[in-house]
Every structure is written in structure tokens, then in C-alpha cells.
Amino acid sequence: MKNPSEVPIKLLVVEDDPGICKFLKTTLTANGCDVLTTDCGAKALEMMSSHCPDCVLLDLGLPDMDGNRVIESVRSWTKTPIIVISARSMEEDKALALDLGADDYLIKPFGTIELMARIRTALRHTRTALENDSIALNGFYRVGGLTIDFRKRRVFRGEEDMNLTPNEFKIIALLAEHAGQVVTYKTMLRELWGPYASRDNKILRVHMANIRRKLEPDPNTPVVLFTEPGVGYRMAEEEQPAPGAR
């Protein structure tokens, strides 16, 4: 995998299971990445600052510290994408890691294609957040036949205004800014209604049901807004232009 400047992507794998670590190193190297590995949290933090990887794959069950402490520590000084790779499959584990600042969460075992897709999404997200942000650039985000117009603060299907309320638009705008990534309930409540917002997800669920009814051709088979049960919501990624098109 190459990034736009054709420099290989540098990944840090933090994993204490030698078998999984070796598998990841082999797979990721075969996909054109530069791979650094370590089996403990303290070393991972050291390597973060000395090697500045583009992305971190982080196991949570580490011998010297919990992976969540690694996320907290890394997030205190850098936005480098962190993808958690864990056997912990509980919703609470997933929500906690994402709330602490992980970009994505993959439950073991996972396939190579899925892993590479998640890495691309995480990298694209940091890149777009920093520079080539199509939202900042054009004021639009296009997904599933919809155009989210950030200047008019409206969502259109063709010429038709989908008539979202101001709160519904705020939700859509937030999910579009993080498209491809899960946004947790906690993050949504905080971003939308401030740090003192209620912790009750019910209001979100009501809004989401209304938004889906307006935006999804078939709300039971969503193509734009996906639920991560017990964790949050994810918007589909923007339709990418065909290779070579600009």
C-alpha cells in the first residue's frame, strides 16, 4: 500500500502474541508497508515518539499495561491513527477504546482484506482531516446518492431537499466528518449537545430513526447510516472518483 507521495506506509504493530505478530508483519509487509513491532505498551509509547509511525495496530491485552492506557497516552500528544485489534468483543470494550481515541476496532480473528481496508480508511481520515478535506474544500459530502451541503446546512437527493431539522443536520454533519469510522454515543452526545449533555442515548435513537426515514430508501437495509449496536453509528464513506478522475 502506498500513500500519495509513494513513501511506504509505516505501521507499528503492538501485539504480544508471537504468532499473530508474525502473521501481521508478513501480511502487511507483503502489502507494501514498513512494519515495526513490539510486544509491550511501554516500548510502543517509546517507538511512537522515536519512529513516528503513520498508523498503530494495537492489541489491548499486553503484558505490561492495558492497551487502553496506551491509547490515552498516545492521544495526549498525537492524532496518529490507532486501530485496536482485540479478542475483546464486548460492546463496552469497543466503546471504551473508541471513546479514549482509537480510530477503529477490529475483533480477532479478522481477514487481511478487512484489515487493509480499515488501515486505508484510518489513513485517509487523518489525511483528509489535515489537508485534502473534500468537505472543507467543496463544502459537500456525497454518499448513497445524497449530497450533504455544509454551506446551506441541508441534505439533497438530486434537487430534492430532504428536510432535515437543524438537530438532524448536526448529527449528519458530525457523522460525515468522521465517515467510515464509528462515532460513539458518548462522542455524539458531547459534540452535539456539549459536555453536560445527558448520557441518555434515547434522544439519539429517536433522531437517527427520523433521519433514516428521510434519507434511506429502505431504512431496514441502510446504505448510508450504519448502527454499531451498543457502540454508536457509522456513515458510509464518500463515493471515490474513478481512478485517474479528478
CB of 39 to Ca ion, least distance (A): 9
CB of 13 to Ca ion, least distance (A): 12
**Residue number with CB closer to Ca ion (40 or 135):** 40
**16 touching Ca ion, by CB under 5 A:** yes
180, 235 in Cβ contact below 8 A? yes
Looking only at the bridges linking them, the beta strands covering 104-107 and 140-143 are unpaired
The stretch among 13-21, 23-31, 105-113, 170-178 that binds Ca ion (CB under 5 A) is: 13-21
Per-residue mark of binding to Ca ion, 107-126 (x: CB under 5 A): --------------------
Say which amino acid occupies 73. S
**Residue number with CB closer to Ca ion (67 or 232):** 67
Provide the terminal-to-terminal Cα distance of the chain, rounded to the nearest Å.
20
**Residue number with CB closer to Ca ion (61 or 230):** 61
Total number of residues that touch Ca ion (CB under 5 A): 3
Q: 3-class SS at 163?
A: coil
Q: What angle do CA 222, 179, 60 make, to 5 degrees?
A: 105
**Alpha helices by DSSP H, the chain:** 18-30, 41-51, 67-75, 91-100, 112-130, 134-138, 166-177, 185-193, 202-215
Looking only at the bridges linking them, the beta strands covering 82-86 and 55-58 are parallel
**Residue number with CB closer to Ca ion (39 or 133):** 39
CB of 206 to Ca ion, least distance (A): 39
32-61: which residues touch Ca ion (CB under 5 A)? 59, 61
**Residue number with CB closer to Ca ion (16 or 34):** 16
The stretch among 12-20, 122-130, 143-151, 155-163 that binds Ca ion (CB under 5 A) is: 12-20
Q: What angle do CA 98, 100, 106 make, to 5 degrees?
A: 30
CB of 220 to Ca ion, least distance (A): 38
Binding residues for Ca ion, rule: CB under 5 A, are 16, 59, 61
